[in-house]
Amino acid sequence: MEPVFTCRAQLMRPLALSELLLTELQRTEGDAAAAPPLNRRLYLSLRGAILAGRITAGVQLPSTRDLARDLNLSRNTVMSAINQLTAEGYLTARQGSGTFVSDTLPELGPLSPAVRGRKLAQAASANSGSPRELSQRGNLLTAQSGSADFEVQPFAPGEIEFAEFPIQLWQKLQAKYWRSLDRDLLDYGQEGGYMPLRVAIAQYLSLSRSVRVTPEQVLITSGTQQSLDLAARLLTDHGDEAWVEDPCYWGARRALQAAGLKLKPIAVDLEGMAPSAADWQQGRPRLIYVTPSHQYPLGHVMSLQRRRALLQFAAQQRCWIFEDDYDSEFRFGGRPFASLQGLDDHAQVLYSGTFSKVMYPGIRLGYLVVPTDLLPAFNTGLYDLYRPGQLMLQAALTDFITEGHLNTLIRRLRVAYQARRDELARRIQRCLGDRVQISGQESGLHLCLLFNTPEVDDEAIARAADAQGMTVRPLSRYYLGAPQRRGLILGYAYVPTERVPPWAQKLCMLIRSQLPD
């Protein structure tokens, strides 16, 4: 059974709520002669705070006596405003308990906090007049859709389920540090992160990925996005050229564009990033971003010959390679290769990984392995730019790794995810046959479904799937240049094995209805 997590904001200090309302009343003072009566102003202030989400559903209001005292109003004035809001459905009176903000508001209906927040933001934007101007960097960053535009539904790439995660064990490990309450673990992060965790990660990477690493080279970050942002800030200048795979992971593309880099799309073939002869001869990138173990999104594994060529090019050009090894734990077949960093004799590779696909996405802990001579700069940049912390969480993760729980979890997840992958691929092949190709089956947590008919509109299929409760991503959206193939990216980690057949059947029938005869 999947764990159910619930959260409800019901606590708000009465004094804090009174201070908020006092501020709102002062905002509406204006000309005393033209101002509405006090009870009306209080009504409007309280109603506006509820609709704007500053006072959330379930919050209990102070008593009318306390509110009158805090706002320096008569109790009749306060009761008049409260009674009107209750009559209109904004507040709910519970006998013997008090008055609370209603879960269902007249304008919005019974919505989750996240959906309610989006609707309120949309309404505020619509009423704000002319749109605010963003910077060129801001416009570039927001021009393309990212993960926030997708709902977490079956086949959502990058999402995992938590049935295999040992929640009670994880709670126990964290509770141990909260009980001991080491004050040092409540402070800002140490330089580079919690050293015992860096030692554990260095040992793990050395054994599992052939990474050449000392604990001092491991920097703890909040994930690959922060690692790449830090590397781009410290190693490149605005206007420098960066090579990216085409198609490319949207998060990496955004981070590099936000850093002001000029992105050069490099085609991908069955051996991974495939620079042309002209690229090899004339290219002058400052940074190369690659996912050699499982190219995102096509899923190809970079060949050993291509890895060596890329490393030789980086050494000759004195450019940096950022190796994103985002889900190398999940390999189901084929010949394994050492990491690029492990093959690098010239210290040109920065190696990045994350725990979000093994543990849970919200853990926001990753690591960056940095060449030794860059450590002073990267330690300074990491600390000054991001002010890292979460030492308590890092300490618990250290125990999780050193006590063998991480390896145990990875083994269980491999079995579960391979069963889901096999079932999904089998259903697709049986239903769609030679109309499609399946790419990226050897490793990772998604399949890339390639259409053999070029005129297929993968964006339209993704929209139709969303309408039927499924989240698939159109491959064409991941190309920086003109899309070379049309297809869909299907994550299978989020769907329990027993639910794969009905969802796969539903998706296949939808795709068949969209394909040309």
Q: Which residue has the higher pLDDT, 98 or 231?
A: 231
Q: What is the pLDDT of residue 21?
A: 79
Q: What is the pLDDT of residue 438?
A: 94
**Predicted confidence (pLDDT) per residue in 81-138, tens digit:** 999 999 999 999 988 889 999 887 776 555 445 555 555 555 555 555 566 788 887 8
Average confidence (pLDDT) over 171-192: 88
Q: What is the pLDDT of residue 151?
A: 65
Q: Which residue has the higher pLDDT, 284 or 161?
A: 284
The angle formed by the CA atoms of residues 66, 68 and 71, to the nearest 5 degrees, is 105
User: In the block, which residue shows the tokens 């050494």?
Assistant: 315
Q: What is the pLDDT of residue 455?
A: 86
pLDDT greater than 80 at residue 140: no
Contact 268, 245 (CB under 8 A): yes
Give the Å distances, CA to CA, from 248 to 5, 155, 181, 296, 299.
33, 19, 44, 6, 11
Compute the radius of gyration of the chain from its Cα atoms.
27
pLDDT greater than 50 at residue 218: yes
Q: What is the pLDDT of residue 199?
A: 97
pLDDT greater than 70 at residue 7: no
Identify each DSSP E strand in 312-400 by its residue range.
Answer: 320-324, 349-354, 366-369
HEC states along 235-275?
HCCCCCEEEEEECCCHHHHHHHHHCCCEEEEEEEECCEECC
pLDDT greater than 80 at residue 141: no
Average confidence (pLDDT) over 502-515: 93
Contact 87, 33 (CB under 8 A): no
Rounded to 10 degrees, the C-alpha dihedral 70/76/78/80 comes to 180
Contact 245, 251 (CB under 8 A): no
Rounded to 10 degrees, the C-alpha dihedral 410/415/420/425 comes to 110
Average confidence (pLDDT) over 329-353: 89
User: In the block, which residue shows the tokens 């209109």?
Assistant: 88
Q: Which residue has the higher pLDDT, 327 or 310?
A: 310
Instruction: Return the H-helix or E-strand segment holding 69.
Output: helix 64-71
Q: What is the pLDDT of residue 344?
A: 95
Contact 112, 6 (CB under 8 A): no
Handedness of CA 182, 184, 189, 191 (dihedral sign): negative
Average confidence (pLDDT) over 256-285: 94
User: In the block, which residue shows the tokens 């543990």?
Assistant: 359
How many of the other CB atoms lie within 10 Å of CB of 78? 26
The angle formed by the CA atoms of residues 487, 488 and 493, to the nearest 5 degrees, is 150
What span, in angstroms and rounded, lies between the C-alpha atoms of 250 and 255? Answer: 9
pLDDT band at 11 (very low <50, low <70, confident <90, very high): very low
- Catalogue all structural domains in the chain, each as residue range(s) with its CATH number: 8-132 (1.10.10.10), 153-161+412-514 (3.90.1150.10), 167-403 (3.40.640.10)
User: In the block, which residue shows the tokens 């540090």?
Assistant: 177
How many of the other CB atoms lie within 10 Å of CB of 330? 20
Phi, psi torsion values for 290, nearest 5 degrees? -140, 155
HEC states along 1-66?
CCCCCCCCCCCCCHHHHHHHHHHHHHHCCCCCCCCCCHHHHHHHHHHHHHHCCCCCCCCECCCHHH
Q: What is the pLDDT of residue 493?
A: 92
Q: What is the pLDDT of residue 10?
A: 45
pLDDT greater than 70 at residue 15: no
Give the Å distances, CA to CA, from 29 to 38, 81, 89, 169.
9, 17, 26, 56
Q: What is the pLDDT of residue 18?
A: 76
β-pair partners for 269 = 272
How many of the other CB atoms lie within 10 Å of CB of 194? 23
β-pair partners for 367 = 220, 353
Q: What is the pLDDT of residue 203?
A: 96
Average per-residue pLDDT for the chain = 87
pLDDT band at 173 (very low <50, low <70, confident <90, very high): very high
Handedness of CA 38, 40, 46, 48 (dihedral sign): negative
pLDDT greater than 50 at residue 4: no
What angle separates helix 64-71 from helix 14-27, to the nearest 10 degrees?
50
What span, in angstroms and rounded, lies between the C-alpha atoms of 453 and 449? Answer: 12
Cis before residue 371, ω within 30 degrees of 0?
no
